[in-house]
Structure formats: structure tokens, C-alpha cells
Amino acid sequence: MDVRFTWTEDLSVHNDVIDAQHQELFAKINELLDAIINDHASDVVEDMVHFFKQYMEEHLRYEENFLAEIGYPETAEHAEKHAAFVDEYKDLKAQLDACDDKEKMAIEMESFMGKWLMDHIHKEDQKYAYFIKENNIPQ
């Protein structure tokens, strides 16, 4: 069974920049997954924590600015979901900083990021994707 995250066309939000950011996030989760499978997660987990923090902040900000720009009516609600992620991530990062078992934290990190992203892109990001499509909003 392939447990890797595969970006498929039905996840597209009809914006190339944001699609590319989502793909980059999937690629990074797969990289972490490979590290776990190949038993060297403890070497990469700290870089990953740093990467996801920085990249997610950039991505979420980009998305929120874009949604405001195109007049998406649920921008504030969408931004709240992002803020909830940032809080949860902060907790996870604190756990990692306090934990000696890096292997275990890598697994938790992979599962948290994978679940959150899949769910959010599938449900929440698809809501604005629909708005973009319905209103023929250009790239």
C-alpha cells in the first residue's frame, strides 16, 4: 500500500501558485514519511519542524491575502481555521522541543501535518476553489 500523499486534480483550487504550494507541502510530508520508513527520521525532524512552521506561515498568509483580494466572502472564517492550525502547531512544536524521542515525534508530526493538510485542502480550500470557478476569477 502506498501511504504517500498524492496531489490529484480534484484538489486543485484553480490557482497555479497555491496549487504549487500545496504540492510542495505534500512533497515535504512524503520526504518525512520516507525518512521514518528508512529509519533516519531523527536526523531530519528538526529541519522539518522548522520548514513546516515557516512554509505554512507563508502559505497561509499568501492564501488569506489572495482570498481578501478576490473578495471571497468567507475570508475571515477561513483565516480562523488557519489561526487554529498555527496554535495547534505551536503546541506540537513545544512537545517536540521537550521530547527526547525524535523518532516518535517525527511520526506524530507526519500524522498531524498529513491529516490537517488533506482535510483542510479537501474541505476548506475547496470552498474557495468553488468560488473561484463560479466567478471565473482569473489567475
Residues within the interface to Fe ion (CB under 5 A): 63, 125
Q: Identify whether the C-beta of residue 113 lies closer than 8 Å to the C-beta of residue 89.
A: no
Helix (H) / strand (E) element for 127: namely helix 126-134
Which of 23, 42 has the CB closer to Fe ion? 23
Q: Identify whether the C-beta of residue 37 lies closer than 8 Å to the C-beta of residue 26.
A: no
CB of 128: closest distance to Fe ion in angstroms? 8
Q: Name the 3-class secondary structure at 91.
A: helix
CB of 59: closest distance to Fe ion in angstroms? 6
Which of 22, 41 has the CB closer to Fe ion? 22
CB of 125: closest distance to Fe ion in angstroms? 5
CB of 119: closest distance to Fe ion in angstroms? 11
Which of 41, 132 has the CB closer to Fe ion? 132
CA distances (Å), 102 to each of 2, 30, 47, 77, in order? 24, 17, 12, 34
Which of 110, 125 has the CB closer to Fe ion? 125
